[in-house]
Chain A
Amino acid sequence: MPTAIEIFKHLPKKNCGECKNPTCLAFAMQLANNKAKLDDCPYLSDAGRNALASSSAPPIRLVRVGSGKNVVDMGDETELYRHDKRFFHPTALALRVNDMMSADELGKKLGHARSLRFERVGQVLKLDMIEAECRSGDATKFASFVQSVASMTDWPLVLRCKDASIMNAAVAVVKDRRPLLHGADESNVKEMAAVAKGASCPLVLCSADLGRLADLVEMARKEGVEDLVLDPMPATMKESLERCTVIRRSAIRKTFRGLGFPIYLSTPATQEGTLMALTAVMKYGSLLSFDELPSAQALPLMVLRQNIYTDPQVPIQVKADLYPVNNPGPDAPILFTTNFSLTYFTVLSDIEKSKVPVWLQVIDTEGLSVLTSYSAGKLTAEAVQKALLASNAKERTTKGVLIIPGMVARMSVKLNEATGLKIVVGPKESSGIPKFLRSMNG
């Protein structure tokens, strides 16, 4: 939002009060604080409305690729640093296939793309898009290739081709999937923009020079395309970090509209390329496209994305409750842990490994790990007793045993007093749980 003074310039200055503010200036101040709507003033001119509507647009445009349930949203970020609030739209990852591949190669690569799917701390980490590239230079061939990729997958698509007429033929087959078109540069921007406009698809603009990139934005908008994505074409990690930073900062700090769009990067299939991709997850990349994405590198990349895009105010948590694991009966012991997702899922998987039936009581520690919540005074004997009462745990089992994390062995006495249960100190690391539980059982 612009400042109150900038807004005031566009208001009718009648001071009539119909907006429920005594003066136009007071109304401008409300608008600047997002406490009023433009429509509240019945006398605003069209010119004024347009000027204000566009200057109050978010500094980085939200661009949606795909259709129906299969969509990827990018952009609409408001921060330079995640600690200032949070980053909103996790960097999307795309794998590239091309129309010179055999059916067999294509099938294999799509299979690999599907296999890049992991569950971690209760969330699914996966690849987001497929990029279909034209290497044949043949419009019919590319269109039928795109058709077959589309029929084999649900993913939102990127179409990559420099020739507008070839692109046009391919877009025609998958128009309703709203693919992202890559891309326009100085040589073809008019023609590509016409294709994007005709099919209402978002368009990537490519230039290694940020000034020219802003020019391309201007040209594409003149042709009527607003959903734009920027490809600053870095060749090195340094260029990638610096260009992405300049784009993000000028959009957010200077409200520079010319670069207020999500960023696309194509990363080389080398170690440097993967390092570039990791850098872009931390520093402002919206969509990364890979020629190859080896499995052993995909997981660290996706976990980094999961970490960086976590809301700094809210750790990933699970519901505090009593969870039966491995079909426990009344003679199974109770174990407790915290509701921090990382802690809970680590412990859960080790208990499952043991195959020993137990009741797992999760304590609400506001999403903190065992030692962190203990140090912060949130994991107390009273909190454990309260949780056990709330979940009726002690009525579900007659065993009378509570197994506690080894890291908080020092809570034993207090826990025994508070809960009346026999306290058994478990191992410090949950990897020790299977052995520990099996030995307890006999």
Chain B
Amino acid sequence: MAEVPVPKEKWTGSIGEMELGCTEAGGGSRATVTVGGNKGLPFLSFEDGPRRKIALAGSVSDSLEDVPQAIRAVFGEDVNDAVSWAKAWKAKGADMICLHLTSTNPEERNASTESAADTVAAVMKAVDLPLIVYGSGHEEKDAKVMEKVGERAKGERLLLGKAEEGGYKSVAAAGMANGHAVIGFSNLDINLAKQIVILLTDYGVGKKDVVIDPLMAALGMGLEYSYSVNERIRIAALAGDAMLQVPMICDCTPAWKAREVTDEVPNAGETAERAIWWEGTTALAALLSGADILVLGHPDAMTLARKAISGLGGED
């Protein structure tokens, strides 16, 4: 029989392993997940011995401005309350909850930092999954929100979003002071991804406490840019670039902004089913290009992502 040359890449680097959440033994009150730790490109067992661990986070918001209709429909009444919504995600098998404190946006509801921290505490009490927390995207307010939330959740090892080049210090400080990990966000560019990790670690955040978010553009909305940027980040990390050897988070919910997800399209089947595949396809592209954590909006898209991970031989 012909001998096929085994085309293994000789990687010298690996992705750092990270635990999120914290059990009672460690002083917290929730389950943990471990992400990262890979030594080869995604899902190639001939390159990377141990199986791959990926965490799937269900997206929850504490106000509904940005929540697509289809997602409101599938969760029903539960979307009106972050706690019920998070519980529903747990029942549907999410590994983590990704909580967006959009109510704090000063240009809309302007909820107080205190009430935001209360929401986080209530979710933590009701659901024992590891938690990702974002503000509303308003830079100044988010700094205060994260400070308060970080304090209140001390010891629970949350993942706090998001530190950007322009203003990363407050999120970084909130993480460092209370034992949380932080998300370093950058805009679809490998050099910017590296830059934010450098800024965070120079500021004092441990490399083991950083997850990068290189911005996942959705199917039909620039997915190809993200696919290639992610892939380049992974290859550079495995080839030895220490500043990129951190887990990667990809938020797939921008898929819900594509018009194919809401509009009728002649000959393209039921919009509801197409929408699930839109988010599911975005998730699959994120997985194959190197994601360690996925944020998902629709439970059926999470089911597809879960099927993909187990079909590809990753742990689930």
Contact = CB atoms under 8 A, between A and B. Distances in A.
Interface of A: 81-83, 115-118, 120, 209-212, 214-215, 217-218, 236-238, 241-242, 245-246, 249-250, 253-254, 256, 258-259, 271-272, 274-276, 278-279, 282-283, 294-301, 303-304, 306-308, 310, 312, 342, 346, 369, 431
16 contacts: A82-B227, A120-B220, A212-B2, A236-B313, A237-B308, A238-B43, A246-B7, A275-B280, A275-B307, A275-B308, A279-B312, A299-B265, A300-B219, A300-B277, A300-B278, A307-B223
Nearest to A247: B4
Given A83-B228, A304-B223, A254 B5 contact: yes
A399 B44 CA distance: 61
A249 B235 CA distance: 15
Contacts of A120: 220
Contacts of A250: 4-7
B304 A299 contact: no
Contacts of B311: 236-238, 272, 275-276
A282 B285 contact: yes
A303 B220 contact: yes
Contact of B277 (A214, A217, A241, A297): A297
Given A81-B235, A82-B224, A237 B312 contact: yes
Given A115-B267, A238-B311, A271-B304, A215 B273 contact: no
A117 B266 CA distance: 9
Contacts of B273: 294, 296-297
A211 B1 CA distance: 6
Nearest to B235: A81
A215 B5 contact: no
B312 A304 contact: no
A315 to B, nearest CB: 9
B259 A346 contact: yes
A116 B268 CA distance: 7
B307 A272 contact: yes
A316 to B, nearest CB: 10
A386 to B, nearest CB: 27
Nearest to A212: B1
A278 B45 CA distance: 20
A312 B224 contact: yes
B220 A241 contact: no
A161 B228 CA distance: 39
A401 to B, nearest CB: 27
Contacts of A278: 281, 284
Using C-beta atoms within 8 Å of the partner chain, give the interface range for chain B: 35 or more
Contact of A300 (B227, B281, B288): B281
A299 B260 contact: yes
B74 interface: no
Contact of B267 (A237, A295, A307): A295
B267 A118 contact: yes
Contacts of A300: 219, 260, 274, 277-278, 280-281
A238 B311 CA distance: 6
B260 A246 contact: no
A25 to B, nearest CB: 28
Contact of A118 (B2, B268, B280, B304): B268
B26 to A, nearest CB: 34
B270 interface: yes
A259 B4 contact: yes
Contact of B265 (A118, A209, A253): A118
B286 to A, nearest CB: 11
Contacts of B45: 238, 242
Contact of A307 (B6, B224, B278): B224
B77 interface: no
A145 to B, nearest CB: 26
Interface in B110-142: none
Interface in B1-39: 1-7
Given A215-B2, A295-B269, A297-B277, 4 more contacts: A211-B1, A214-B2, A217-B2, A272-B307
A276 B288 CA distance: 12
A256 B4 contact: yes
Interface in B276-316: 277-278, 280-281, 284-285, 288, 304, 307-308, 311-313
Contacts of B313: 236-238
User: Interface centre among A279, A295, A307, A369, by most B CB within 10 Å?
Assistant: A307
B7 to A, nearest CB: 3
A59 B291 CA distance: 30
A217 B2 CA distance: 10
Contact of B259 (A246, A256, A295, A431): A431
Contacts of B152: none
Contacts of A211: 1-4
B231 interface: yes
B203 interface: no
B221 interface: yes
B219 A303 contact: yes
Contacts of A295: 267-269
Contacts of A209: 1
Interface in B137-158: none
Interface in B228-283: 228, 231-232, 235, 259-260, 265, 267-270, 273-274, 277-278, 280-281
Contacts of B232: 81, 83
Contacts of B235: 81
A214 B224 contact: no
A296 B268 contact: yes
B284 A279 contact: yes
Contact of A241 (B43, B223, B231): B43
Contacts of A238: 43, 45, 311-313
Contacts of A210: 4
A298 B221 CA distance: 17
A70 B220 CA distance: 27
B260 A275 contact: no
Nearest to A299: B268
A241 B313 CA distance: 10
A83 B268 contact: no
A76 to B, nearest CB: 19
A113 to B, nearest CB: 11
A323 to B, nearest CB: 20
A298 B4 contact: no
Contacts of B277: 274, 296-297, 300
A291 B231 CA distance: 32
Contacts of A83: 228, 231-232
A311 to B, nearest CB: 10
Contacts of B1: 209, 211-212, 214-215
B265 A246 contact: no
Nearest to B269: A296
